[in-house]
Amino acid sequence: MAERDWDYFIWYRANDLLQQAERIQRNFLQIAAGANYRATQGRNPSWEPPVNVIETDASLWVIVALPGVVAEQMQVKIDGSDLVITGHRPLPKCCNDGQFKIWEIPLGDFERRLRIVAGDSRLLLGEVELKEGLLTIELRKRS
């Protein structure tokens, strides 16, 4: 093996190990944070879904990435000044008898809390739609 090939192999392997370490750290932090920040009413969420928030003149739109979650397994509510999205993403049936080799997609209970503020007025829960793995929530501003 030429020296250049050996250098390439070493750097390739180091990069692979670094990516694996980052995935392990991400999963560890999700579990550790879930242990320290328990949700109310006995729920123990293990992960938080990512969100985008867009503001228009009339509304705030919250878009939540929830692939693999069905509407019956989630809830959206306003709790004081927080928008609370909770639910469960189950393990697919195909995986019940298998052994996990790589674990990057979080499963189980989730909760996402967003502080919602619209100047001096409160927001009203409007349209809520779960379609193709994206939850879209409209929070209407009071006129």
Spell out the domain ranges in the chain: 38-141
CA distance 25 to 18: 10
The CATH T-level fold of domain 38-141 is Immunoglobulin-like (2.60.40)
φ and ψ of 10, to 5 deg:
-65, -45
Residue 112 contacts residue 51 (beta carbons within 8 Å) = yes
For 1-11, what is the mean pLDDT? 73
Indicate the pTM of the whole model.
0.67
For 76-83, what is the mean pLDDT? 91
Residue with the bigger pLDDT between 8 and 47: it is 47
- What is the pLDDT at residue 118? 60
pLDDT tens digits, one per residue of 21-73: 777 776 666 555 544 443 444 556 678 999 999 999 999 999 999 999 999 99
> Within 13 Å and on the Cβ side, how many CA atoms surround 112?
21
